[in-house]
A and B are shown apart, each in its own frame.
Chain A
Amino acid sequence: MLSERDLLVRVERLTVTRLKVWVAQGWIKPADAAAQSYSETDLARATLICNLEDDLGFAEEDVPVLLNLIDQIHGLRAELKVLLDVLEELPPDLRATVRLQITRTREYGKR
């Protein structure tokens, strides 16, 4: 776990004000809210927001839109991974059927 101070040191362009705003907006959620401490995930996310605002030139009001999309994509990818893991465990003949159905649906639309 990282303290607020650790986070500020490790994310170069992060300031106390910025972090306060981001937490208030719900863009960053301290891994342990009660202790105000952060995880490596929070750190990477803070770096990403710095990136979006400072390097890619997105305006502050664009950030929640982007984060929302990014969070949705990771939500989708996580669900997709569960689905694929489940398929992986199926008996070979069932797997073959699923594969066939997927190819068909892709090419000819729903059934």
Chain B
Amino acid sequence: MAEDLYSVLGVAKTAKAEGIAKAYRKLAKTLHPDLNPGDKAAEEKFKKITAAYDILGDEEKRGRYDRGEIDATGQETPHRRYYREYAGGEEGARYRSTAGYEDIGAFSDLFGDMFAERGGMRGGERRFSMRGQDAQYRLDVEFLDAVNGTKTRLTLPDGGTLDVTIPPGVSDGQVLRLKGKGGPGLGEGGPGDALIEIRVRPHPVFKREDDDIVVEVPITIDEAVLGAKVEVPTIGGRVSVTVPPGANTGQTLRLKGRGVKARGGAGDQLVKLSVMLPEQIDEDLKSFAEKWRSSHRYDPRRKLKEQA
């Protein structure tokens, strides 16, 4: 066993770790004893490449091998009992598959029968088990339904339906998983899941920022100057909000707990005020503004000038 480990794996001494792993896997896939039951030669080769990979696949051991500190036989893996040693036995019958010999010949029914007597399985029974595929769907949801939660029915491409409970606060792009509502499984594998991607339609008034709801509310000049109670829409209905005297455009009022219900609490609603002039400026307002300007000049653009 003084053979050079690099030639066992068929790689250059300068090969990168990646290349060595790749070479090992390629060889192992063809030589693994469980993929070659009964083939003694393949097993010997597999042992050899595995022993080689044990050393060359380990950065530290490889270095020691290269420096001659350990030899090629340095690491012998303890004897391992492969699956194939059990698969042929009485116990292994639980896993053995005898599906589909019908095409071989008229005599083939014999096999199924023989097996039935020994293993208690009907011949031709499928033993292949695989979980069903996950099914992917997309569901458009109205903004308020997404925020407050709802129940809806999804019509599937095959004509079937799926009842979907939209949890309150679901967000755009979120994927709901319905366990066991996907494709059917094979054998003893369970069905797959239905994965439903939620698309939330935008709302003309409400915007969502995480768990907060943002609404822009226009107010009149007099409401801004003197303060007022104004009616504001929220996702739970209209509420009366106090605008403090001297409120200004850009100012935000926070309505605690009026946002999206989330785990362990709720977001807020943010009311963004914007002061609106009347559509028609009448004589009163004009003359007031002229009078007021002459004695109360102020510069809202001072910061603008300072900074740019």
List the interface of chain A (C-beta within 8 A of B). Answer: 24-27, 29, 31, 39-41, 44-45, 47-48, 51, 55-57, 64, 66, 68, 70-79, 81-82
Q: CB-nearest residue of chain B relative to A24?
A: B190
**How far, in angstroms, from A75 to B115 measured CA to CA in the complex?**
9
**How far, in angstroms, from A64 to B131 measured CA to CA in the complex?**
9
Query: How many A-B residue contacts, CB cutoff 8 Å?
Result: 104
**How far, in angstroms, from A40 to B28 measured CA to CA in the complex?**
24
Contact B32 A51 (CB under 8 A): yes
Q: Which applies to chain B's interface (DSSP): helix, strand, loop or mixed?
A: loop
Q: Which listed residue, A39, A68, A71, touches B91 by the CB 8 Å rule? A: A39
Contact B88 A74 (CB under 8 A): yes
Contact B87 A74 (CB under 8 A): yes
Q: Which applies to chain A's interface (DSSP): helix, strand, loop or mixed?
A: helix
B101-123 near A? 1/0 per residue, CB < 8 Å: 00000000001001100000000
Contact A56 B25 (CB under 8 A): yes
List the interface of chain B (C-beta within 8 A of A). Answer: 21, 25, 28-29, 32, 34-35, 37-38, 80-89, 91-99, 111, 114-115, 127-131, 187-190
Q: Name 30 interchain pairs, CB-CB below 8 A, sorted by A.
A: A24-B131, A25-B129, A26-B130, A29-B188, A39-B91, A40-B91, A41-B86, A41-B87, A41-B89, A41-B94, A44-B83, A44-B85, A51-B34, A55-B25, A55-B28, A68-B97, A70-B34, A71-B97, A71-B127, A72-B99, A73-B37, A74-B96, A75-B97, A77-B37, A77-B88, A78-B88, A78-B115, A79-B114, A79-B115, A82-B114
